[in-house]
């Protein structure tokens, strides 16, 4: 029997290397910007296999580098939002979060003339303490979200949350939640689909894990940060729990990512979910 091929969602959390390290954005001045270089590198790799992805753009970097947003859009990728300042949502007030989201979405829409329909929270930080953020997303016209991680760790996740796309209803708003992929082995739910996890497991294992999601009849979601393709980015002193994963095995990403693009079929999240 011929194996069914699934179209999976490829997603990029588009931020510079120093923006996902729990450093407040007011202190970001002075770090070396490498997003132009690494953004071009990423676009080149995607272009080689003619793969289109969803780019969850951080508002701060989009405002600083509007030309790269335009380039990404011109190459046929989906422009979605990753908020403005990469602050953990559960440490923000709803008022501040709403203002930041309005600014981030408004900027992208003004630049591309396209409606932003997708959102991923910084650090997947929609947790039981910040479910109110979903109401604000509905209010701002978001049609799908990819922020609720179904495994709990020290920074994010809701244990036992659904692992595959599902509908969320908040008052008058309805949208789809498309969580980043995990694998259930017995009672354990394992994160498998990107970021540091992709650098920790050998590629052959990642491939088996991802295939298992497709075998279960579901598309998977994979995520990557541009700086993971840039092993030469500056080393700074960080708390151990952060540096242990941030710098781990960066040299392996490019080779593995290219294999992944050859081994699986991908499309932007909006297309996988059939949102017009």
Using CB under 5 A, list all residues that contact Zn ion: 13, 15, 20, 122
CB of 214 to Zn ion, least distance (A): 26
Let me know: does 225 contact 38? Beta carbons within 8 Å.
no
From residue 13, alpha-carbon distances to 95, 194, 211 in Å are 24, 11, 23
- DSSP states of 80-110 as a string? EE--SS---GGGS-HHHHHHHHHHHHHHHHH
Burial of 140 (0-12, 13-18, 19+ CB in 10 A): middle
**Among candidate residues 262, 267, 251, the one with its CA nearest the CA of residue 207:** 262
From the list 225, 155, 152, 216, the residue with the least C-alpha distance to 183 is: 216
Q: Supply the minimum distance, in Å, between the C-beta of residue 5 and Zn ion.
A: 29
Q: Would you say 6 or 79 has its CB closer to Zn ion? A: 79
Phi, psi of 17 (to 5 degrees): -60, -30
Which residue minimizes CB distance to Zn ion?
13
Residue closer to Zn ion, measured from CB, 20 or 165: 20
Select 85 or 206, whichever has its Cβ closest to Zn ion: 85
Helix (H, G, I), strand (E, B) or coil at 272: helix
Query: Which of 20/191 has CB closer to Zn ion?
Result: 20
With respect to Zn ion, which residue has the nearer C-beta, 122 or 179? 122
DSSP three-state, residue 156? coil
Q: List, in sequence order, every beta strand (DSSP E) within 86-224.
A: 118-119, 144-145, 166-170, 173-177, 182-185, 188-191, 221-224
> Shortest Cβ distance from residue 213 to Zn ion (Å)?
22
User: What is the smallest separation between the CB atom of 21 and Zn ion, expressed in angstroms?
Assistant: 10
Nearer Cβ to Zn ion (96/212): 96
Closer CB to Zn ion, 20 or 219, in the complex? 20
| Least distance in angstroms from the C-beta of 124 to Zn ion | 9
Rounded-to-integer distance, Cα 189 and Cα 183, Å: 6
Radius of gyration over alpha carbons of the chain, in Å? Answer: 17
Q: How far is the CB of 186 from Zn ion (least distance, A)?
A: 31
In the complex, minimum distance from the CB of residue 86 to Zn ion, in angstroms, rounded to a whole number: 6
């Amino acid at each position: 029997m011929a194996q069914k091929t699934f179209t999976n969602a490829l997603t990029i959390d588009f931020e510079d290397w120093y923006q996902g390290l729990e450093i407040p954005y007011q202190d970001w001045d002075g770090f070396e910007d490498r997003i132009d270089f690494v953004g071009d590198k990423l676009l080149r790799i995607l272009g080689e296999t003619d793969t289109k992805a969803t780019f969850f753009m951080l508002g701060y970097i989009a405002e600083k580098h509007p030309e790269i947003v335009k380039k990404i859009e011109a190459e046929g990728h989906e422009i979605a939002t990753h908020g403005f300042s990469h602050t953990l949502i559960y440490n923000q007030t709803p008022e501040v979060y709403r203002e930041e989201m309005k600014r981030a979405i408004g900027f992208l829409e003004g630049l591309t003339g396209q409606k932003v329909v997708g959102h991923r929270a910084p650090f997947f930080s929609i947790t039981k303490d910040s479910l109110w953020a979903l109401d604000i997303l509905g209010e701002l016209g978001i049609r799908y979200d990819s922020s609720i991680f179904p495994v709990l760790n020290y920074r994010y996740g809701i244990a036992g949350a659904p692992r595959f796309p599902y509908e969320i209803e908040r008052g008058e708003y309805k949208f789809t939640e498309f969580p980043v992929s995990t694998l259930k082995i017995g009672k354990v739910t394992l994160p498998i689909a990107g970021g540091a996890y992709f650098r920790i497991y050998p590629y052959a294992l990642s491939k088996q894990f991802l295939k298992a999601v497709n075998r279960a009849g579901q598309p998977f979601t994979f995520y990557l940060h541009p700086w993971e393709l840039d092993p030469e980015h500056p080393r700074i002193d960080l708390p151990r729990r952060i540096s242990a994963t941030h710098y781990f095995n960066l040299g392996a990403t490019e080779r593995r990512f290219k294999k992944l693009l050859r081994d699986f079929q991908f499309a932007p999240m909006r297309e996988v979910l059939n949102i017009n």
